[in-house]
């Protein structure tokens, strides 16, 4: 306190600012002075009036809002947000398609590999049967009747039984008329 009024000093400018912010922050002595001194109260009131006027003018010179608040959330979505949502949805769909497509291809591959293996097994079985028939065309029942199962016939004997064309020609050649042998 520097400015003196009779016996009690007046509040300084800093104290007036302090009082405007919160007069409870002043010391008890300063608060007492403020309560008693009309001059200090006037200084404080003037500053408060200026600040109140500041708020009033700000409100007065601000344009009035012309739009009411609408709580529909779609209204605040910016185009950018919509693009983000669309892009996210497209990305999710793409991922799902890729995953699903990959699974489908794998299933198809696995299916085709399985079929191929089965065909090969069947072909091998068929070839075994054909080979067996080539070896001996008679069914097992007839082989049992003729008692020739398990016979080991050599090639000379088979040649004797079923001569080839070449051996047949060699055998029949000396019987021709007019031919001589050396």
Partner 1 sequence: MTPSTHNAPGSQTSDIQLAELVKQASDGNRFAFEQLIDHHQGDIYRMIYYRIRARMDAEDLTQDVFIRAFRSISRLREPDRFRSWLFRIAINRVNDYLRKKKVRSIFKSADEKPDMQPEPSQTPEQPEALEQVLKEDFWRQIGRIARKLSKMEREVFMLRFLDNLNINEIAQTLKKSDSTVKTHLYRALAKFKKEKALRQFLQEGIT
- Please report, for residues 5, 12, 46, 51, 97, the alpha-carbon distance to residue 42 in angstroms, rounded to integers and kept in the order given: 14, 13, 6, 14, 79
- Options 54, 94, 126, 158; binder of partner 1; rule CB under 8 A: 54
What does 108-168 look like in DSSP terms, one character per residue?
HHHHHHHHHHHHHHHHHHHHHHHHHHHH--S-HHHHHHHT-TT----HHHHHHHS--HHHH
CA dihedral of 66, 68, 74, 78, whole degrees rounded to 10:
30
57 near partner 1 (CB under 8 A):
yes
Name residues whose C-beta falls within 8 Å of residue 179's C-beta, 6 or more positions apart in sequence: 173
Interface mask toward partner 1 for 24-53; x: CB under 8 A: -x---------------------x-xxxxx
Residue 69 or residue 171: which is nearer to partner 1 going by CB? 69
Stretch that binds partner 1, among 58-66, 79-87, 137-145, 148-156 (CB under 8 A): 58-66
Stretch that binds partner 1, among 13-21, 99-107, 117-125, 150-158 (CB under 8 A): 13-21
- Options 67, 131, 137, 147; binder of partner 1; rule CB under 8 A: 67
Residues that bind partner 1 (CB under 8 A): 13-14, 17-18, 20-22, 25, 47, 49-59, 61-71, 73, 75-76
């Amino acid at each position: 306190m520097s400015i003196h009024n009779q016996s009690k000093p007046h509040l300084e400018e800093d104290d007036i600012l302090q009082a405007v912010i919160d007069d409870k922050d002043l010391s008890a002595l300063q608060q007492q002075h403020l309560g008693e001194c009309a001059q200090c109260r006037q200084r404080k009131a003037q500053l408060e009036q200026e600040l109140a006027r500041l708020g009033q003018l700000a409100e007065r010179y601000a344009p009035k809002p012309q739009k009411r608040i609408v709580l529909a959330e779609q209204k605040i979505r910016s185009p950018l947000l919509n693009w983000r949502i669309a892009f996210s949805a497209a990305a999710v769909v793409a991922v799902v398609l890729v995953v699903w497509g990959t699974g489908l291809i794998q299933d198809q591959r696995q299916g085709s590999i399985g079929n191929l293996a089965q065909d090969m097994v069947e072909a091998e079985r068929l070839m075994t049967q054909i080979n067996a028939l080539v070896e001996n065309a008679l069914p097992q029942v007839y082989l049992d009747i003729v008692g020739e199962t398990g016979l080991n016939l050599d090639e000379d004997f088979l040649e004797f039984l079923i001569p080839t064309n070449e051996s047949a020609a060699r055998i029949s050649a000396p019987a021709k008329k007019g031919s001589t042998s050396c």
